[in-house]
A = this chain, B = another copy of it.
Amino acid sequence: MPTYLHKLMLMHAAGEKFASTSKLADYINLDPIIVRKDFELTGLKGFPGVGYKTDELIEAIRRFLGWDSPRRVCLVGAGSLGNALLGYEEFAEYGMVITDVFDADPKKIGTRIHGYPVQDVRRLPDAVKKSKPHMAIICVSSRAAQSVVDGLIACGIKAFWNFANICLKVPPDVVVQREVIAGGFALLSMKLKKHSPLFETE
């Protein structure tokens, strides 16, 4: 869905009023039937022969993903990964509003990363009580992650996007989306192995 959305926004910016399933299917390397089924999930109906109105489809996907209203998000851990995520311009298009950035490193505290001031992680409880983020992005070390998350849960945060290499333990009313960075490398390694059976001998 984010891939469709990104492409549709580029098409919309280029003045394309209609988006055909076949064009999007071609872009994303998928069968047009799958693309049509994906769009059906949003509840929007296409027009025979021309596809979907680009702006309506953008709105339908946003509604489907819950991106039709701003999502206030704080980020903990302003290392290189946190830095990369703060610099990811598409997030703003998707309704993400960064409220706070925290780190424990005295060298980083007080500096700005992509315009966001880095605050002392010890100020976290006071700061998030004011800014009330809906979600937190966890970019701290796997060792620090659970205690950081426990602290955020105590402040009322119920959704975590976890980039730390650890399975977090959270109460049942809290949702976690975990990113396993090595997962993509595993999938690619398996694809390569299947694709080149003689690869092992190289």
Q: Which residues of A contact B (CB under 8 A)?
A: 1-3, 6, 27-29, 64-67, 69, 71, 79-81, 83-85, 87-88, 90-91, 94, 96, 134-135, 158-161, 165, 167, 173, 175-177, 179-193, 195-196, 199-200, 202
Known: A159-B188, A188-B159. A182 touches B91 (CB 8 A): yes
The answer to whether A175 and B192 have CB atoms under 8 Å apart is yes
The answer to whether A167 and B29 have CB atoms under 8 Å apart is yes
Chain B contacts for A165, CB-based, 8 A: 6, 90
Q: Knowing that A80-B84, A96-B185, A179-B184 are A-B contacts, what are 17 other residue pairs whose CB atoms are under 8 Å apart, sorted by A's residue number? A: A2-B180, A2-B183, A6-B165, A27-B167, A65-B186, A66-B189, A80-B87, A81-B84, A91-B182, A94-B185, A134-B192, A159-B188, A159-B191, A160-B188, A175-B195, A176-B188, A177-B191
The answer to whether B80 and A83 have CB atoms under 8 Å apart is yes
* Contacting residue for A188 out of B1, B81, B161, CB 8 A: B161
Residue among A1, A180, A188 with the highest chain B CB neighbour number at 10 A: A188
* Contacting residue for A65 out of B29, B66, B189, CB 8 A: B189
In the bound complex, what is the Cα–Cα distance between A94 and B188 (angstroms)?
A: 13
**29 A-B pairs, CB-CB below 8 angstroms?**
A2-B183, A2-B185, A2-B186, A6-B165, A6-B182, A28-B167, A65-B190, A66-B189, A66-B192, A66-B193, A80-B83, A81-B81, A81-B84, A83-B83, A88-B182, A96-B185, A134-B192, A134-B199, A134-B202, A158-B195, A158-B196, A159-B191, A159-B195, A160-B188, A161-B184, A173-B195, A175-B188, A175-B195, A177-B188
